[in-house]
Amino acid sequence: MSTAGLGRRAARGAAVTLTGQAIRIAVQVLSVTVLARLLSPQDYGLLAMVAVIVGVGEIFRDFGLSSAAVQAKELSTAQRNNLFWINTGIGLVLATLVAGGAGLIAAVYSRSELVGIARALAVTFLLNGMATQYRASLLRGMKFARVAVAEVAAPTVALAVATAWALTTGSYWALVAQNLTQSTVLLVGMVIGGRWLPGRPRRGVPMRALLSFGWRLVGTQLVGYASNNTDTLVIGLRFGAGPLGLYNRGFQLLMRPLSQLRAPTTTVALPVLSRLHAEPERYADFVRRGQLALGYTLVAALALVAATADPVTAVFLGGTWSAVAPVLRLLAIAGIFQTLSYVGYWVYLSRDLTTDLFRYTLVSAAIKITCVLVGSLGGIVGVAAGYAVAPALAWPLSLWWLNRRTSIPARDLATGALRILAVAGAAALSAAAVSAELVSSPALARIAAAGAVGMAVYGLAALAVPAVRRDLAGVAEAIRMARSRGR
């Protein structure tokens, strides 16, 4: 494909993917807002207790084979078929193991309700396993619109089912139904969008490179998952379902939408960067622009959330969830540093540096687990503080580590990130001051006023600092490219 053609497809993909993600995030926020008023922290805590353990199985269920299929230079029909049956078989095995081990999961937390929850959620392994290669095939073919439709329909239908269930029963089974419905609808959508049926598995098909890539990635994902979910496990074991439910609502309100925003950038970036190996200047420019785009959009939004955590909690969760506000503030800070280092993940995957990614992830996981364990001495707010400190420590390490292994514009990434942090920090402090002054005003008015002040700070920074002005102009250009859909 020509350079111009690749750029147009990337722009179209970004536009479609980001539009789909915007809708998904709206559905996610609506889900948190609606269900928080129908269910209790205990309900959420019970589901989170199972989810943190079941999530480990999800990594094995994928086995890194979705990324392996997307980044492969060539993928035959026979290889795709074999990958489908491998993912489906792994899903079936995991579903059986989790259903059979439900009693053990319940024993870990001393909660008998977890037996039924674990057995029900075990079905999602099989459903997601069957959907894995359909999604990978669509992404490999840059059929982003079909992926977006399925990924929007699934949580929308699931929210409707969960709401109806919660209104009827008011129990945690509404959340179980939500998860099962989402996996089912997603599978149906991917099959319809994929427009292919898997053939029978065949021997003699070259699979070693794909499985090797996947296995190396699994190790990295397992370590990352363990470190990312230490907070949930520690709170569940030490403090119980109620406090875990509070923490979980803050996490779901912020970190899940953030992940949903960042994930599609990898969806678009990975196939593009994989095709730019032989063009180092364009590769570096894509990475540089990617960090600026994430920094002046997501980091800016996270800074505003950190500044207005109290009114944001009141608007989206209601007054009974006020204890979530300090957790939300600290998680927003964590999200800022995670976002700044996110482009490094693109580089690791697109250049097949999965072994190096695994080694770095081991180090960053040790940092995060240590910070969370120390922070747990201060309750759920202390856990959130530890979760925020960890990526702030790991981010510069990530940049240094990656620069040792491959060619990246390390200096540009570092200076660009510092500019992003400086402007975001100034905007957050100004917004927080305005929000505090309006403490007696309605929550929405506080958020609106703080947002206006934050935007004003960005405007002043663009006028006063040429480098920031160039950054913002570059981000605006990228947005225009996406909106034009490559015309």
CB-based burial label for 54 (10 Å; 0-12, 13-18, 19+): buried
pLDDT tens sequence across 226-236: 777 788 888 98
Confidence of residue 407 (pLDDT cuts 50, 70, 90): confident
pLDDT(346) > 90:
no
- Among candidates 342, 316, 173, 334, which has minimal Cα distance to 253? 316
pLDDT(465) > 60:
yes
Phi, psi values for residue 364, rounded to 5°: -65, -30
CB 370 within 8 A of CB 389: no
pLDDT(205) > 90:
no
pLDDT tens sequence across 15-48: 676 777 778 888 888 988 898 888 888 888 899 8
203 alpha-carbon distance from chain centroid: 36
pLDDT tens sequence across 354-368: 788 888 888 888 899
Q: Which helix (H) or strand (E) holds 10?
A: helix 3-36
pLDDT(348) > 90:
no
Give me the pLDDT at residue 313, please.
Answer: 93
Any idea of the CA torsion for 63, 67, 73, 77, to the nearest 10 degrees?
A: 60
**What proportion of the chain, given as a percentage, has pLDDT over 70?**
91
Confidence of residue 482 (pLDDT cuts 50, 70, 90): very low
Say whether 1 sits in a helix, a strand or coil.
Answer: coil
For Cα atoms 282, 283, 289, give the angle at the middle one, nearest 5 degrees.
Answer: 85
CB 13 within 8 A of CB 273: no
Report the distance separating Cα 394 and Cα 275, nearest Å: 29
pLDDT tens sequence across 42-74: 888 899 888 887 777 766 676 777 777 766 677
Confidence of residue 13 (pLDDT cuts 50, 70, 90): low
Give me the pLDDT at residue 8, please.
Answer: 58
Report the distance separating Cα 67 and Cα 217, nearest Å: 9
Give me the pLDDT at residue 480, please.
Answer: 62
